[in-house]
Amino acid sequence: MIDYSIEGDNLEIVRIRLQPGDEIVAEAGKMVYKTPQVAWATTMHGKGIGQKLLGGLKRKLTGESLFLTHFSCQHEGGEVGFAGDFPGRMRPLHLDNGQSILVQSGGFVVSESTVKLDIALTRRLGAGLFGGEGFILQRLSGPGTAFIHAGGDFVEFDLKPNETLQVDTGCIVCFDDSVQYSIELAGGIKTSVFGGEGLFLATLTGPGKVVVQTLTINRLRRELAAGLQTS
């Protein structure tokens, strides 16, 4: 089990303590600090040139950078810290062998090297066209622990079979691979156009866990832009 702690308030940081032989993989640019004992190397994801190029292309499709950064300790322990890019929370995802979870684009921060990172097609064409995530979501598969970042606070739901939750498309953080995902109009035309919540809602149907966020980067940008225009 990876040794870590999550600290902070409005922009949490995960502090990971590595022992000799440990290795973690992080999204490029997420590191905040490291001790000198921690070695790091930035590479494309995959083995061999062909897999590396394919892995880099997949990562670009999910909105991530082409590269991942590997951190390890050889002879003595060390520590490295990671954080997101805007105010929000960090959350650990403890994945069993073969367990998968779908994560919003840009949500992945760091994981144990045993966690497999891949892309996942949304299940319906409507979800791809209007779901805010595009056609692509990230799939994280165990075994191992991964850490994700989202804006504001996390709200978690444990959906029973056929239980449904409607969520603003940009507020989805992650959901189990068992959860069905589709898109529908957010009410009538007047509500869709003038309601201020976007044209579409994501409909998530259980069984499985769903995590949503209370702040999206787009909402934050909109409020900051409005403040600049009135100042």
3-state secondary structure the chain: CCEEEEECCCECEEEEEECCCCEEEEECCCEEEECCCCEEEEEECCCHHHHHHHHHHHHHHCCCCCEEEEEECCCCCEEEEEECCCCEEEEEEEECCCCEEEECCCCEEEEECCCEEEEEECCCHHHHHHCCCCCEEEEEECCEEEEEEEEEEEEEEEECCCCEEEEEHHHEEEEECCCEEEEEECCCHHHHHHCCCCCEEEEEECCEEEEEEEECHHHHHHHHHHHHHHC
Per-residue pLDDT, averaged over 98-103, amounts to 94
Kindly report the CATH number assigned to the domain that includes residue 167: 3.60.160.10
Whether pLDDT at 58 is above 60: no
Is residue 24 within 8 A of residue 16, CB to CB? The reply is yes
Confidence of residue 53 (pLDDT cuts 50, 70, 90): very low
Phi and psi based region of residue 171 (left: phi greater than 0; alpha: psi -120 to 50; beta: remaining)? alpha
CA dihedral 110, 84, 40, 144 (to 10 degrees): -10
pLDDT band (50, 70, 90) for residue 179? very high
- What is the mean pLDDT of the segment spanning 129-154? 80
Average of per-residue pLDDT across 126-139: 59
Chain centroid offset of residue 140 CA = 9
* Number of domains into which the chain is organized: 1
Dist CA 101 CA 8 (whole Å): 25
Confidence (pLDDT) at 226: 62
Q: Domain range holding 138?
A: 3-230
Phi, psi of 86 (to 5 degrees): -150, 165
Beta carbons within 10 angstroms of residue 46's beta carbon = 17
As a whole number, mean pLDDT of residues 109-123 equals 84
Q: With bands split at pLDDT 50, 70 and 90, how would you rate the model's confidence at 50?
A: very low
Give residue 48's pLDDT.
46
Beta carbons of 202 and 166 less than 8 angstroms apart:
yes
What is the reported pLDDT for 188? Answer: 53
- Determine whether 64 is exposed, middle or buried from the number of CB atoms within 10 Å of its CB (0-12, 13-18, 19+): buried
Specify the pLDDT at position 143: 97
Quote the pTM value. 0.81
How far apart CA 228 and CA 231 sit, in angstroms, is 5
Q: What is the mean pLDDT of the chain?
A: 81
